[in-house]
Amino acid sequence: MTVKIEFPCVVSIEPTSRCNLRCPLCYSGRGNAAGKADMPLKHYTRLIEEIGKLSSNISLVNYGEPFLHPHIFKMIRLAKDEGLRVSTASNFNLSMNCIRMIPTSGLDILTISLDGVTPESYRKYRIGGDFNVVIRNTKLLLESRRLRGTLKPTVVLQFIIMSHNQHEIKQFVALGKALGVDRLRFKTLNSRGMAVASKLMPEKQYCRKPQRKTKSITSVNCAWPQKSLVVNCDGTVVPCCNVGHDSKMVLGNAFSDSLAEIWRSENYQRFRKAFHLQLNLPHQCQECQSSWLEDPRRQAESINERLLREYSWEVNREDDLHFFNEKMRTILDE
């Protein structure tokens, strides 16, 4: 039988695992991202050449603050030279010099994390961050973009709904309007199975709804092994952004093998088959909140869309790179 597997539509590269903040649910923020390192430019250059042949989009983010990589602007330019649409995300606790370089970098989409409308609520999750710096930088970016006569990057202001900020949703929409950002996004909290998440969980109406109520129901559903690939800053390849640098979930190393080889490797096939057969699934997948949900992304999107509609903000999916890949190639016939 011939089985066709297409190159993943969601390809992310982690430029660095270093971060200037300490968010409690983040591997980097908790000091667990292996190595705390920057991806070497020579490996990145080879990777991006390969991705340019196989895909239309690249997301330059995973764990860590991408703009701390000393060559981040070169990385963006190299991806643009390969014809890729480039997105990234930032905590935006950055210098003004860095912000001024963004509009001419070629970056297509920038998501700015701002989970609060006051310094007090913001710093409860973004530990070590400064609300006023994020606001200053957002204004500066939009003004620099205007002065250069460009609409790039599209600026998305993102708000993770948590127990301490759920009452600020309406004010967040007002803040987004006042700043003049292009898009707003409300994101549901992903607990990643961490105990600390229980205090942060908002009311049920802002949470994705688990389909699997107890661990005795063993079915684990997940589409990520078929559609996503993440390259960590040390070259290790993992199937999704939920697993960080967990060595038990590493499916290859992109510094020594091509991504196409890794994608169709025995390791990856065995991993996909485990979901199909519901056998020998990694412990982390069995515990993963995403695997307990029926289409977690759809659920998260519907909460986002409901809130945007409620507060009269236009819903726009145009810039969703993750599920849009016009250049996606079939790379495997087996």
Q: How many CB atoms lie within 10 A of CB 64?
A: 26
Q: How many CB atoms lie within 10 A of CB 175?
A: 20
Q: Name which position in 239, 251, 252, 300 contacts ligand SF4 (CB under 6 A).
A: 239
Does residue 60 bind ligand SF4 (CB under 6 A)?
no
| Cα–Cα distance measured from residue 233 to residue 47, given in angstroms and rounded to the nearest whole number | 12
Comparing CB distances to ligand SF4, the nearer of 66 and 153 is 66
Binding mask 184-223 for ligand SF4 (x = CB under 6 A): --------------------------------------x-
Q: Which of 20, 169, 152 is nearest to 88 (CA)?
A: 152
Residue written as token pair 């996909």: 272
Does residue 91 bind ligand SF4 (CB under 6 A)?
yes
Comparing CB distances to ligand SF4, the nearer of 65 and 108 is 65
Q: Name which position in 243, 251, 254, 293 contacts ligand SF4 (CB under 6 A).
A: 243
Measure Cα distances from 147 to 21, 35, 87, 100 in Å: 30, 40, 22, 11
| Cα–Cα distance measured from residue 174 to residue 181, given in angstroms and rounded to the nearest whole number | 11
Does residue 16 bind ligand SF4 (CB under 6 A)?
no
Binding mask 280-299 for ligand SF4 (x = CB under 6 A): ----xx--x-xx--------
Measure Cα distances from 133 to 127, 130, 225 in Å: 14, 5, 38
Comparing CB distances to ligand SF4, the nearer of 11 and 80 is 11
| Cα–Cα distance measured from residue 181 to residue 160, given in angstroms and rounded to the nearest whole number | 17
Q: Name which position in 10, 155, 169, 240 contacts ligand SF4 (CB under 6 A).
A: 240
Q: How many CB atoms lie within 10 A of CB 197?
A: 16
Binding mask 17-36 for ligand SF4 (x = CB under 6 A): --x-xxx--x-xx-------
Does residue 225 bind ligand SF4 (CB under 6 A)?
yes
For ligand SF4, the binding residues (CB under 6 A) are 19, 21-23, 26, 28-29, 63-65, 91, 222, 224-225, 239-240, 242-243, 284-285, 288, 290-291
